[in-house]
Chain A
């Protein structure tokens, strides 16, 4: 068969194109992203080594020693980041007065925050608060008001996108992580965090289907150092929503730890028969200790806890921060304040109006978002029950138990669109998108409703009355 000149040129062109693709594949297929680094010296792990747990009390000099305040920021993309940002901005404007060394200190409620937990979009606000030293204006400009979505999409067609297309290690999530690291958090790492507030960024370990929290303890189980890991990468892992973004990968370094010397593990195994959480926890530690599992793949934290409330519940457990603060009797705990910042939305589900089975999108919505909202509601109720139980103990034994003697009924403050009283405003808030982009009008809506939600919250009113009374 005779090949025409034109056909020959096409074949040569296709050949060159395939050769270029092959070249890219050969050069880029093993191009690694930035991974977590191994610990300089391998050592055993203990929660007691966690700097967050050392020297928790007394508080920082500008904080009220008798108050423990924790805030959980939910997921929800830029909407959640903006709701978190506005909540913090509003808390900064709420006066908080306390007495220290016999003198009255004029402060604000945001400064009292001891721990912030963030999930997905909420992790960006949580991290920003810990790093910003009280000034959220840079975060507002770099993230809240920015069209992150378009920047990420543009990266697909940049040199980074080419690398992501050919590398089996460097994926789309990595250029998101680099963007957050370089342009939102100025290359800050966990070592740059202050001692207070404590930051808890959560993601989901896809192999275990469990929450993965960026703490020194968790990283030590991977033989890794959290200190030099970028905050922006942790936020990327926390917000790596399946399909839209690839999971973010961590390295799991050897050698394995001697778990027989790990008291939490040994007791966890002993409790596993009756305590399912202990059973799952020890299994997770065994998984990390099996160093043939060289890589840990992390996805959006919202897959297992979309409001970060499990993070607060954990602190009620034995040796958790709330538990240890209750038992710390040198300075009795007076106020436990928990703020649930929930940027969740609930659009109308119309699938019941049609005999046709729900669409794939509707099924995903029901199975991944709506069911998680039900679980989160349960967790918020569990926190209420823990607070009630704790306060009852203070009523029963407070007089002869120094640590409980001053305790007021714990405060549970909730920022949630469900509490917006104006039906039209509520409808508009509930229709806000879950994306990494908000229009000025959408931001203005958040700017309006969040301060009102806080102002009208009965628990915040009760707290403000108590603060006023003790002036």
Chain B
């Protein structure tokens, strides 16, 4: 399993739905679990949110990958 925390750039307190591979899967700002390592497409359901392709690997619950999403 792998772990990420997704936030919106400059808006760390926003609570929005996270989209992984364009499917809703969790909220911003909290630890999210992934099935395994590899490339995923991350975004958030928020106006102007961009998609970001990231490779997740070697994470732990204590050392999750932080993903920051730009909103135009």
A residues with CB within 8 A of B = 46-48, 53, 263-264, 267, 270-271, 274-275, 278, 316-320, 323-324, 326-329, 386, 389-390, 392-393, 396-397, 400-404
Contacts and interface: CB of A to CB of B under 8 A. Distances in A.
Contacts of B32: 327
Contacts of B53: 267
Contact of B35 (A46, A53, A323, A400): A323
Q: Is the interface of A mostly helix, strand, loop or mixed?
A: helix
Main SS of chain B's interface residues? strand
A318 B3 contact: no
Contacts of A389: 1
Interface of B: 1, 3, 18, 20-27, 30-41, 53, 60-62
6 contacts: A263-B22, A271-B39, A323-B34, A326-B33, A397-B62, A403-B30
B69 to A, nearest CB: 16
A324 B25 contact: yes
Nearest to B3: A393
A396 B34 contact: no
Given A264-B21, A267-B38, 17 more contacts: A47-B23, A263-B41, A267-B39, A270-B38, A271-B38, A318-B20, A319-B35, A323-B33, A323-B35, A324-B23, A390-B33, A393-B3, A393-B61, A396-B61, A401-B61, A402-B30, A403-B30
Nearest to A269: B39
A427 to B, nearest CB: 41
A404 B31 contact: yes
Given A270-B39, A397-B62, A48 B23 contact: yes
Given A263-B41, A329-B27, A329-B30, A320 B1 contact: no
Given A318-B20, A318-B21, A389-B1, A329 B26 contact: yes
A397 B23 CA distance: 24
B28 to A, nearest CB: 11
Given A263-B21, A323-B25, A393-B61, A317 B36 contact: yes
A275 B25 CA distance: 22
B21 A267 contact: yes
Contacts of A53: 23
Contacts of B24: 324
A396 B31 CA distance: 11
Given A329-B30, A397-B62, A403-B26, A320 B35 contact: yes
Contacts of A329: 26-27, 30
Contacts of B35: 316-320, 323
Nearest to A48: B23
Contacts of B30: 329, 401-403
Between B18, B20, B31, B39, the greatest number of chain A beta carbons within 10 A of the residue's beta carbon is seen for B31
